[in-house]
Structures are given as C-alpha cells and as structure tokens.
C-alpha cells in the first residue's frame, strides 16, 4: 500500500510544490486548504502521515494538531509541522503539542521528502518496501512474496496488506477499527466482521507452514501478531 500523505496548506503555490515532490517520490497525496477540510478527510480515510501548516485560515495548525493528538484514532498519526516561523519557542511549542518533526519555510523539496520518508520509516513501516521476517515467516513488499518456513504462501491483496501491517506492528493488540483504518483505509463503510473473514483466510494460508499461530485472537479486543505463545 503506497503511503498516503495528507497535506494541510492554504497557500496554493506551496501546496503544489509539496504535492509535486511527494508524488515524484512515489507517495500518494491528499490536499486540504484548512483544518476543517482536513478533518473531514481524516474521518473517511486515515492517512499515513500529515504535513501540517502552522498558519491556516480558521483553526490554526497548532490547534488542529492538538485535536489530532487528543483523539485516540489519530493520536499516533505521524505529524510534521510546516511553518514560516523559525523561532525557537515556536519549534518547542510544535514539538510539545506532539508533532514528530518540524520543517521551516522556505524549505528544500528534497529535505521535505527526506523528512517525510524518515518519519514513515519510523512510524509506518508497513508503507515501506523493507522485507520483514519473523519466526520463519517472511514477507517481501517489493516482490510481493510471502514464504512460511521456506514454503511459498499465496495471498490475496487484502491478506497481504493485513499480514504486512501485523508483521510491522507486532506484540500489540489491534482492534478491528484500527485494522480497517490501516489495511482497508476505511473504518466507516466496511463492516468489522470483514476483518474476521480475512484473518480466517490468512490463517488458512499460513497453516501449511505452521505460521498460523503467529496471529492471535485477543477475545473482546482484536488481533495480535506475536512470535511468543499466548
């Protein structure tokens, strides 16, 4: 799944500068000119990362960042603040409200893309192409291949994305809502039991390589990927 970057920026020239460079880097882009529009977009699809301008018409970028951090659904959303204000206290305020990084205008497009990529690597490894291997199960996003104890596993696109997310976020319990957001990109219009159906299919495909037990059901909460027995 390519990374989806939500850019919240009211100046058209900067908006398109950011958009062009992110797209050139192979990232998908959503654009919003104000916090209200951005909020509506996030309600529909959870992006991989938000690039947020400090000065926006209406609700400021800082207030919007606070709002994102106070909602459990968006609390951990990777967030980069973009600002024309290079003062130290602004930088500190930006980091205090929970921004993960900070870019000062005018910025070089190359630096902006590098910061976005670095933050994605740290916080959203499921949108990068790095192979993952855990307890004999190996998934390679670049070649779209999965092997369990060396045996090839054939997965549908949804099972592949689901497994990729679980393998890059191990040991934590993921609710069905979180999985819908992260794997389907939609927590509103897809039914929660859809998750169960795909988990069942995924386990069935992993059974032959004895890797199905890596996906654990946590009763009443959701699912967890773990190499440690329950």
Interface with Ca ion by CB under 5 A: which residues?
A: 10, 53, 55
At CA 30, angle to CA 25 and CA 35, rounded to 5? Answer: 130
Shortest Å, Cβ 112 to Ca ion:
15
Looking at the Cβ atoms of 34 and 140, the one nearer to Ca ion is 34
Taking the least distance from each CB to Ca ion, the nearer of 10 and 19 is: 10
Tell me whether residue 51 is exposed, middle or buried, using C-beta atoms within 10 angstroms of its C-beta: 0 to 12, 13 to 18, 19 or more. buried
Q: How far is the CB of 62 from Ca ion (least distance, A)?
A: 12
Task: Between 10 and 90, name the residue whose CB sits nearer to Ca ion.
Answer: 10
Closest-by-Cβ residue to Ca ion is 55
Q: Which is nearer to Ca ion, 53 or 101 (CB)?
A: 53
Least CB distance to Ca ion at residue 103 (A): 13
Q: Which residue has the tokens 């206290």?
A: 89
How many Cβ atoms sit within 10 Å of the Cβ of residue 26? 11
Strand order in the sheet with 137-140: 132-134, 137-140, 145-148, 151-153
Closest to Ca ion by CB, 69 vs 85, is: 85
Nearest approach in angstroms of CB 51 to Ca ion is 12
* Residue number, 55 or 173, with CB nearest to Ca ion: 55
Please give the Cα distance from 68 to 45 (Å, whole number): 14
Smallest gap from Cβ 18 to Ca ion, in A, equals 12
Q: CA 53 to CA 166: how far, in whole Å?
A: 31
Query: 17, 9 in Cβ contact below 8 A?
Result: no
Task: Put residue 186 in one of left, alpha, beta given phi > 0 → left and psi -120 to 50 → alpha.
Answer: beta
Relative to beta strand 222-225, strand 4-8 is unpaired
Helix axes 61-70, 88-96, angle to 10 degrees: 20
Least distance to Ca ion, CB of residue 10, Å: 5
Mapping DSSP to helix (H, G, I), strand (E, B) and coil, where does residue 174 land? strand
């Amino acid at each position: 799944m390519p990374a989806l970057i939500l850019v919240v920026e009211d100046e058209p020239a900067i908006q398109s500068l950011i958009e062009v460079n992110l797209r050139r880097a192979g990232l998908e882009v959503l654009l919003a000119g104000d916090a209200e529009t951005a909020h509506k977009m996030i309600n529909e699809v959870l992006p991989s990362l938000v690039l947020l301008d400090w000065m926006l018409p209406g609700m400021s970028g800082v207030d919007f960042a606070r709002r994102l951090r106070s909602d459990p659904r968006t609390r951990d959303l990777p967030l980069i603040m973009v600002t024309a204000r290079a003062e130290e206290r602004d930088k500190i305020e930006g980091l205090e409200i929970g921004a993960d990084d900070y870019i000062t205008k005018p910025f070089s497009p190359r630096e902006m893309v590098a910061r976005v990529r670095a933050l994605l690597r740290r916080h959203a490894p499921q949108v990068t192409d790095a192979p993952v291997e855990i307890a004999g199960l190996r998934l390679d996003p670049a070649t779209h291949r999965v092997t369990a104890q060396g045996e090839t596993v054939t997965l549908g696109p949804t099972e592949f994305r689901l497994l990729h997310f679980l393998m890059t976020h191990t040991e934590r319990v993921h609710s069905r809502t979180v999985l819908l957001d992260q794997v389907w990109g939609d927590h509103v219009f897809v039914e929660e039991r859809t998750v169960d159906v795909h988990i069942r299919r995924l386990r069935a495909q992993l059974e032959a390589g004895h890797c199905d037990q890596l996906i654990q059901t946590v009763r009443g909460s959701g699912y967890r990927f773990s190499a440690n027995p329950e």
